[in-house]
Structure 1
Amino acid sequence: MADQKRTTCPYCGVGCGVLVTKQEDGSVQIKGDPDHPANFGKLCSKGSALGETLGLENRLLEPKIEGQTVKMDEALNVVAQRFKETAEKYGPDSVAFYVSGQLLSEDYYVANKLIKGFIGTANIDTNSRLCMSSSVVGHKRAFGSDTVPQTYEDLEKADLVVLVGSNLAWCHPVLFQRLKAAQKERGTKVVVIDPRRTATCEIADLHLAVKPGYDVLLFNGLLNYLAQNGAQDSVYVDNHIEGCEQAVAMAAEQASDYQVLARQCDIALADLMTFYDWFLKTEKTLSMYSQGVNQSSQGSDKVNSILNCHLYTGRIGKEGCGPLSVTGQPNAMGGREVGGLANMLAAHMDFTPEAISRVKTFWDSPTIAGKPGHKAVDMFEAVHKGEIKAIWIMATNPAVSLPDANRVRKALETCEFVVVSDCVQNTDTMAYANVVLPAATWGERNGTVTNTERCISRQHSFKELPGEALPDWKIITRVAQKMGFEKAFSYETSYDVFAEHVALSAYENEGTRDFDLSSWQGLSREEFDAIEPIKWPINNNPKDRFFADGKFYTASGKANMLAVDLKAPKHTPTAKYPYVLNTGRIRDQWHTMTRSGLSPRLSSHLHEPYLDIHPDTALKEGLKKQDLVKVESKWGEAILRVKTCDTVKPGELFMPMHWNDENSAHAVVGRLVNPVTDPFSGQPESKHTPVNVSKFQPDWHGLLFSREKIETSGFVYWTRSRSNGCYVYDLAGLGEPSNWDEYASFLLGEGELLSMEDKKRKHHRYAVIKDNVPSGVLITSENQGNIPTRNWIAGLFDQSEVSMEERISLLSAKPVGDVAEKGAIVCSCFNIGLFQIQRAIADEGKVSVEAIGQHLKAGTNCGSCQSEIKDIIAQATTTSGDKKQVA
């Protein structure tokens, strides 16, 4: 029988179950777990491609001190000594940990315990601060605890689902498919509130393209409308809510004139009133919100403006209705549970005198942090100022992901002692490390994670640890022991850490805290290994949904409605920076691509960093599709490929977040993003940065294929993606080489060099053949429009040999004979390209998403490409004059 392991996906916060089966050739087969309640066997394109990301390419396998390879024990000795000496000399607040939602709960727990309970500072924060900390604040202000009351099942039970600041189709595809199926089965209405028309709008009955930053005003208007139309659940409000009158009064003061409100929000009045009326008349309303709400200088107030509407109508903690915050990372929730945020202690406890004493006693710690520490952005500002002198960065890349990334890099450059523990080498952040530690990654780790709906699942290891890599909890444990804390950090397995985490959740709890795993006390190692996915609390009073009884975790036991009012962003468009830049994820990549970028099929959909720009804005700035554009803010700049589209409004722009200095020349979005944060949550304003744009005109454009990575320092623009058998580089240069032949030989390496030059049209084409297969291909032109499509060329690198005709095709830049070129990949799951879909429409008459799926299989797995297929059909049928109904 094949060796099969159950685990969970390491990407987003949906927390999908995965079945991993080892094959005889050493590879693994990846399938969705049909028994996991998050996905019931479904996986998105990223999860489906996990088997392609398990090699040792770019893995960090050995510790290093100042760039020199050393033994793990030597490196850990240095880390322990420097952190201990720094804390003793300058005080505990001179050190910090910056951790990650990629960590398991056991990793998080040990890190939090060491720094808060034994070093004595709360200077630990997580990159989850960048995606969901405003939700934490909103929950705690309203509920008295960071509690998510709803579950995924509510997607199937709701009659109205309001998606706020969430491109569910691309960022949480499995949940999107659950919603889409529910809509088809029971007629669920879907409202999408987002400045952009995203792929999620495919199923929207109503799309409100709200002006960036105006969510508070929009939901204050809704609250006022509910109050005017008698929607208050008076019994519920009287018995279970405080602050109602003040919240309603603020809403009435700010948003009582709906015509003015619609104009302010840049929404058609009829659409605004339709949304308000649907919410008013639909008892089972679920509001799902994500980064579009949280990543704002007013993110916390946005969250509370949404919660106000549910509390006012009593629509919370019930089947099919309530608020549901969707997290971005696989264990963002687990980090919240163990205290991975600087403003939380542990086990959902805050920095109250009682909680501080309780945790200190439980840990038997010599000292304990008595106040919150620096949140992420402030933490690196403290590093910049020299207040934090030693920092340990775990499983994250702040030199890319934090706002004002250039300042973050300067901070790390001047910091006295920087430790980076990661599974990959050569990240942007690692360039600043004094000590580098190799950590375990997905497939090698063993512990627990918690998804968006509070479901705790097991991650099981199915691979041996390579080199000297260790699980993060073990690295931290050994450092703690070397600092003199052997007794408190005597863990031998992740099970030992888990058992202590469970015990702390139960310690002096008795139902007074929401996070409670007390029924797992005394769980054996075998029972730990056999844990089935389950939502907490796990105690004598299990709850599928919190707050169904109207009891909250505030001092009064009642929930709070907050009076919140719209506050303008600190930085608004000016004559110098007239446009608003929005940022976010794309469908097939994850964070800074250290894992997803290894998969050729995931790199085939969108292979270059780009800027979405409305045609009117592009015309104004003299830009057209496929141009290169320079985007500049007060804090930094980027060079991107232009994508003209009507998915953004005139004056608004969108740039993805995934590219970094390891896979592109000038595409780190964090360099542009302004460092303003929410005053309560510390979450950065990642969706609203004033910028300007200008055409960037290189002297030549190029496309390069190479079996090996090449030196890129000579290009003004480059981006690298993966294909089967080779790397693919999009290039541009200023100034032409004095000798193109020598330049091509330098780039492509040794072998039989084939070349073709068209001086009149300034075309250059080169191919190096080695052992009867291409080892490198370079095609350049003065005009980007003359650069050929890539897939047929990349396909030649996957062959065992190339024919004479195929060699000639490389110089003519046209495929041999009647080769049917795929075009840009649309469906990553089945590798179906744009041209294939267009041919199916034109030649086979397939003019519905369902027909394309039946004919090509495109869109029939995760479904996240269906909206794109729908757009292709619409464009093709409109162009051809075909009046057939497009499904």
Structure 2
Amino acid sequence: MLDAETRPSAAVCGAPERRDSAPVATRTTCPYCGVGCGVLAARDGDDARVSGDPDHPSNFGRLCSKGSALGETVGLRGRLLYPMRRAAQGFARVSWDAALADVAKGFAQIIERHGPDAVAIYLSGQLLTEDYYVGNKLMKGFIGSANVDTNSRLCMASTVAGQKRAFGSDTVPGCYEDLDETDLAVLVGSNAAWCHPILFNRIVRNKEKRGARIVVVDTRRTATAESADLFLQLVPGSDQALFSGLLAHLFRAGICDRDFIRERTEGFDDALASAIRLAPTISETAALTGVGETDLQRFFDMFARTERTVTLFSQGVNQSSQGADKVNAIINCHLATGRIGKIGAGPFSLTGQPNAMGGREVGGLANSLAAHMGFEFENVERLRRFWRAPRMAPREGLKAVDMFGAVAAGKIKALWVVGTNPAASMPDADRIRAAIGGLELLVVSDNVLSNDTINSGAHILLPAQAWGEKNGTVTNSERRISRQRAFLPSPGETRADWRIFSEVAKAMGFSGFDYKSAADVFREHAALSAFENDGRRDFDIGGLATLDEKDYDALEPTQWPYRAHANFGTKRLFGEGGFFRANGRAAFVAPRAPSLATAISPDYPLRLNTGRIRDQWHTMTRTGASPRLARHLAEPFLEINPDDAAAFGIEDGGFARVTTVHGACVLRVVATDRQPKGHIFAPIHWTDETAAQARVGALVASFADPVSGQPEMKATPAAVAPRRFASEGFLLVRRTIDMHADFWWSRAAIEGGYAYRLASDRASHEWLGLLLPDAERDPVHYSDFRRNSFRAAAFNGNKALFALHAGSAPQSWDAAIALFAQERIEGRQRLALLSGSAAGDPQGAIVCACFGVGAARIAAAAKDGCRSAAEIGAKTKAGTNCGSCRPEIARIIASAQQ
């Protein structure tokens, strides 16, 4: 059953079979980024039908490429379906009772010997709020340690710290409607066109309909920058210099709102003096940031003259050793002008994960308690009384980087990892993998049977429900709580994460965990938010604390605060003050001078920036199952400026070995002038499950912001060198294979199987015996030893079993993939599969993943007379859904017109 590709019938899983032909759609929420799009999802046989929910206020029916492909990701191949215990050979299935007893006993014994701080839990922004709540209650209230942190530490912790310093609370002031009403959208460190495309689409539509202007501030020219009226390319680490220079300019221009500053804030004079010392003039700001004086002046004037300005920021700001200072430098400019909590105006954090906000609400970070409370004595005591907790954690716990440092030092001896893969995603990932391999007890709750963390030495595996099976709530970037509803039966013996936490708690002898449903957990969470609050804390959903099961199930998307006796939630905060610091005033925070945690050197002369690509998510556990999403950027790559590529002897389309003091990767080279000189970029998604030598987390330094604890993942010193192979090629096959050690490889899902990109120092004619030593049936093959060219394919009847192409140069696979997907291949098609020649009209690399439109088709439409993305969309549908492919469509049009 673990190898099943399709979901078992509902009867097998204990749910009633549907007998009507038309599936009934369930309103739920997308499990990807923090936009929080509403989804209509329905089981349809072994498949799922997914579309956007037109009634959800986050997306009004639109979905990005990843959301549109959710139906392709719900199969059971590779799923963890039963509790497992490490055995002599791999893992052995055990009962839930045995697994829970092992976890409870293991934790209890280590706590008895070494104290509660010798254990830890590492959570995920993919969890539902109810899951997060119970895990934090167990750890902080009953085990008595705050060593519970989350992978959201890697994504939004600097925003949390900056907002707490400024507002006294972790509060996003505005809402998505502001993106429709603003006159100036400033995007800082955010490739929203790829990472938050539904929101970016709203910004672009505002530009088209109302004439709003877009400014993009980033270290690299991304797809987002191609829609900008002004692009400011910063040197890494200089964001606070830019916004300090802006603050000084606003003061000199007389734009500051003196009444707002005087009546509702404090610390302005010190912050202004610091800004003037740091960036007193346009020319000095230009010198610090690397931006031309003319562009700086234009930006400063645009910001000064535009009352309705929203500044949106994301990982380029947060993932920094000075991330909190960068956030506060941005907030300072909005406080100084009173542009906060007003229609179309305010600082706006774009959250990375679907429920990073919900995790923050329940104390998912090691330095916070539930209901947005800190570790002040009165809060610890308040929570002790509400939970009737026997052993409340008295102090903050270890943040993620320090937590894994304590694992490496042997201070943490038991770790429970839930819904994330730190052996791949944490900085200095090789060190993390070695550290967790030495734990006395490593427990993993997940929905996959294998990942880098599990394979690093897990002792107990606990099968968790996946999206489509889970029931609870999530909170998006605008503080909107939405329901995630199950529309699929739970396969095997999978359970909700909140239930797993509860059962471990009870097995450890703790009371207070007798929840019968997710609604039970939510009611307690909501009641705690209002407990002894009286408006003194920002997070309050007391108005939802009495929902019964029916009302909880029917809960509409709702923004908080939603206080008791309220009839609706709150769109905006702070427009008239009302901050949550003790004196009710906001605080200006003077940022430190720009610096980077590590310096480049002759051995490591480049800066490595890491991030996401358009159609993949985190470590591809979900998106990697979609053939559609794999076709845009199918293999791990390195972007480098052409001048740097030439200087280091690297060829566009070839391979490069990338090294830092922490590790090394081998990546395909993309030479592009969108990447500035001296800087390289690599995506984070590939792991040892999907590629060889491509775990980019292993390259990244683990230096963290001293305020937020968020690691700097955008500026690690690195070196590059050419890596040349004797042969390159690809393998199309119906099943995954165990890859021979002599190959560099990456794997992508395709229709009917898998595609492997391959490179090796072996001659091409040696490949077949190394890759498929037990290949079924005698293959048809062609070999040219002189040219180092080899082709092979095998068939079962009229269906291809595999196709292998190898040679001295990269091999195009688009036509072969199209043929391989067919159930019947006959006559000349077999020769085409073997030769790699086009059969019919192959799409080429997929550009529009929403509708599966390839580059070849778009180029053909451009040559036929289409001169704009709109005309291409009218003819092919490309770019007419989420719009994230429009910049690439524009480049194809320009190329076709040359």
Paired residue type of 2:351:
T
**Counterpart Cα distance in 2 of 1:771 and 1:566:** 69
Q: How does 1:271-670 map to 2 (within 5 A)?
A: 271-431=295-455, 432-485=457-510, 487-539=511-563, 540=565, 542-670=569-697
Is the counterpart of residue 53 in structure 1 residue 76 in structure 2?
A: no
Checking the alignment, whether the CA contact within 8 Å between 1:715 and 1:731 is kept in structure 2 is no
SS in 1 for 2:870: helix
Paired residue type of 1:214:
S
**Counterpart Cα distance in 2 of 1:855 and 1:51:** 26
**Counterpart Cα distance in 1 of 2:769 and 2:218:** 51
Query: Match of 1:678?
Result: 705
Shift of 1:845: 1.1
Checking the alignment, whether the CA contact within 8 Å between 1:604 and 1:825 is kept in structure 2 is yes
Query: Match of 1:828?
Result: 849
Query: Match of 1:858?
Result: 878
Query: Match of 1:885?
Result: none
**Counterpart Cα distance in 1 of 2:792 and 2:765:** 16
Query: Match of 1:150?
Result: 174
Query: Match of 1:121?
Result: 145
SS in 1 for 2:718: strand
**Counterpart Cα distance in 2 of 1:85 and 1:505:** 34
Shift of 1:263: 2.5
SS in 2 for 1:154: helix
Q: How does 1:771-850 map to 2 (within 5 A)?
A: 771-784=797-810, 787=811, 789-816=812-839, 819-842=840-863, 844-850=864-870
1:83 is matched with which residue: 107, 110, 113? 107
Shift of 1:736: 3.2
Q: Deviations over 1:616-649 (max 9, x none)?
A: 1111111121101000001111100000111111
Q: Deviations over 1:832-861 (max 9, x none)?
A: 11111111122x111211111111111111
Paired residue type of 1:862:
C
**Counterpart Cα distance in 1 of 2:59 and 2:518:** 26
Shift of 1:2: 3.5
Shift of 1:181: 0.7
Percent sequence identity over matched residues?
49
- TM-score, structure 2 length as denominator? 0.96
1:753 is matched with which residue: 779, 786, 790? 779
**Counterpart Cα distance in 2 of 1:42 and 1:36:** 10
Is the counterpart of residue 698 in structure 1 residue 728 in structure 2?
A: no
**Counterpart Cα distance in 2 of 1:835 and 1:4:** 35
Q: Deviations over 1:94-134 (max 9, x none)?
A: 00000000000000000000000000000000000000000
Q: Deviations over 1:740-794 (max 9, x none)?
A: 56446517x112310101122110000111122110111111222xx1x222212
Query: Match of 2:41?
Result: 20
Q: Deviations over 1:631-674 (max 9, x none)?
A: 00011111000001111111111100100000000111110000
Checking the alignment, whether the CA contact within 8 Å between 1:607 and 1:721 is kept in structure 2 is yes
**Counterpart Cα distance in 1 of 2:674 and 2:766:** 43
**Counterpart Cα distance in 2 of 1:821 and 1:274:** 46
Query: Match of 1:43?
Result: 63
Paired residue type of 1:42:
R
SS in 2 for 1:247: helix
Query: Match of 2:262?
Result: 238
Residues 778 and 223 (structure 1), Cα distance of their counterparts in 2 relative to 1, 3 Å cut: same
- TM-score, structure 1 length as denominator? 0.97
Residues 745 and 87 (structure 1), Cα distance of their counterparts in 2 relative to 1, 3 Å cut: closer
**Counterpart Cα distance in 2 of 1:739 and 1:95:** 50
Q: Deviations over 1:475-496 (max 9, x none)?
A: 11000000001x3111111111
Shift of 1:796: 2.1
Checking the alignment, whether the CA contact within 8 Å between 1:737 and 1:743 is kept in structure 2 is no
SS in 1 for 2:719: strand
Q: Deviations over 1:317-344 (max 9, x none)?
A: 1111010101000000000000000000
Residues 27 and 735 (structure 1), Cα distance of their counterparts in 2 relative to 1, 3 Å cut: closer
**Counterpart Cα distance in 2 of 1:741 and 1:59:** 30
Checking the alignment, whether the CA contact within 8 Å between 1:217 and 1:565 is kept in structure 2 is no
Checking the alignment, whether the CA contact within 8 Å between 1:704 and 1:778 is kept in structure 2 is yes
Aligned length: 869
**Counterpart Cα distance in 1 of 2:809 and 2:428:** 34
2:252 is matched with which residue: 228, 236, 244? 228
Residues 361 and 277 (structure 1), Cα distance of their counterparts in 2 relative to 1, 3 Å cut: same
SS in 2 for 1:752: coil
Q: How does 1:57-76 map to 2 (within 5 A)?
A: 57-66=77-86, 67-76=91-100
Paired residue type of 1:750:
E
**Counterpart Cα distance in 2 of 1:167 and 1:739:** 43
Checking the alignment, whether the CA contact within 8 Å between 2:765 and 2:785 is kept in structure 1 is no
Residues 625 and 739 (structure 1), Cα distance of their counterparts in 2 relative to 1, 3 Å cut: closer
SS in 1 for 2:437: helix
**Counterpart Cα distance in 2 of 1:737 and 1:757:** 9
Residues 742 and 163 (structure 1), Cα distance of their counterparts in 2 relative to 1, 3 Å cut: closer
Paired residue type of 2:820:
F
**Counterpart Cα distance in 1 of 2:328 and 2:767:** 61
Is the counterpart of residue 688 in structure 1 residue 715 in structure 2?
A: yes
Shift of 1:738: 7.9
Shift of 1:800: 2.2
Shift of 1:823: 1.2
**Counterpart Cα distance in 1 of 2:767 and 2:699:** 35
Shift of 1:737: 7.3
Q: How does 1:153-172 map to 2 (within 5 A)?
A: 153-172=177-196
SS in 1 for 2:335: helix
Query: Match of 2:13?
Result: none
Range that drifts further, 264-273 or 601-610: 264-273
**Counterpart Cα distance in 2 of 1:873 and 1:737:** 37
Query: What is the CA RMSD across the aligned residues, in angstroms?
Result: 1.2
SS in 1 for 2:372: coil
Q: Which runs of 5+ in 2 are unaligned?
A: 1-21
Range that drifts further, 295-304 or 775-784: 775-784
Checking the alignment, whether the CA contact within 8 Å between 1:601 and 1:828 is kept in structure 2 is yes
**Counterpart Cα distance in 2 of 1:581 and 1:837:** 33
SS in 2 for 1:646: coil
Residues 469 and 366 (structure 1), Cα distance of their counterparts in 2 relative to 1, 3 Å cut: same
Shift of 1:815: 2.6
SS in 2 for 1:751: coil
Shift of 1:578: 0.4
1:725 is matched with which residue: 752, 758, 763? 752
Paired residue type of 2:858:
I
